[in-house]
């Protein structure tokens, strides 16, 4: 039997992250696991920035907290913010420290040159995570495509 005690959803507030949250939320509910939602804020120390780093952190913290429903908060779900130069390392460190059983993370599904130029947080998390990782590609409808009705009718008549 599969046991999930803690499910972590890493979010960057993108569409793939929203899809990952739907999966993570459903899995946590199905297995009675604690839901953790984590956002990693880029470390702006010694980097020029127009925004106050503390204000950015507070804003992102509110945004992550708002992703939790009232029922999730009452059942012990947690939202967290980490500041790091490496989002992937921050995610895997959080997973290790909080004894996460499954990480759910969205991916844009980039390949080739764009992946080399932009990099992939999800790919780095996959390689270094202390637990299984479920990647969710957006849009989700690409995962399962139903058979067209005409093909079903042809099979039944054969």
pTM for the model stands at: 0.78
- Best-predicted range by mean pLDDT among 43-52, 110-119, 120-129? 120-129
- State which H helix or E strand residue 84 sits in: strand 78-84
Q: In this structure, what is the dihedral angle of CA atoms 121, 72, 23, 94, given to the nearest 10 degrees? A: 30
Q: Domains for the chain: give ranges and CATH numbers.
A: 6-157 (3.40.50.620)
Stretch 78-90: mean pLDDT: 94
pLDDT digits (tens, 9 = 90+) for 97-120: 999 999 999 987 655 544 444 458
What is the predicted pLDDT for the residue at 49? Answer: 65
**Cα–Cα distance for residue pair 14/26, rounded to 1 Å:** 19
């Amino acid at each position: 039997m599969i046991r999930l005690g803690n499910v972590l959803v890493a979010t960057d507030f993108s569409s793939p992250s929203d899809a990952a949250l739907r999966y993570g939320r459903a899995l946590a509910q199905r297995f009675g696991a604690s839901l953790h939602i984590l956002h990693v804020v880029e470390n702006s120390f010694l980097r020029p920035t127009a925004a106050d780093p503390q204000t950015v952190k507070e804003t992102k913290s509110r945004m992550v907290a708002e992703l939790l429903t009232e029922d999730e908060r009452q059942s012990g779900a947690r939202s967290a913010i980490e500041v790091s130069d490496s989002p992937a390392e921050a995610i895997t460190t959080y997973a290790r420290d909080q004894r996460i059983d499954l990480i759910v993370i969205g991916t844009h599904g980039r390949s080739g040159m764009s992946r080399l130029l932009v990099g992939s947080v999800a790919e780095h998390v996959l390689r270094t995570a202390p637990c299984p990782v479920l990647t969710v590609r957006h849009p989700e409808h690409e995962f399962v495509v139903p058979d067209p009705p005409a093909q079903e009718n042809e099979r039944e008549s054969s």
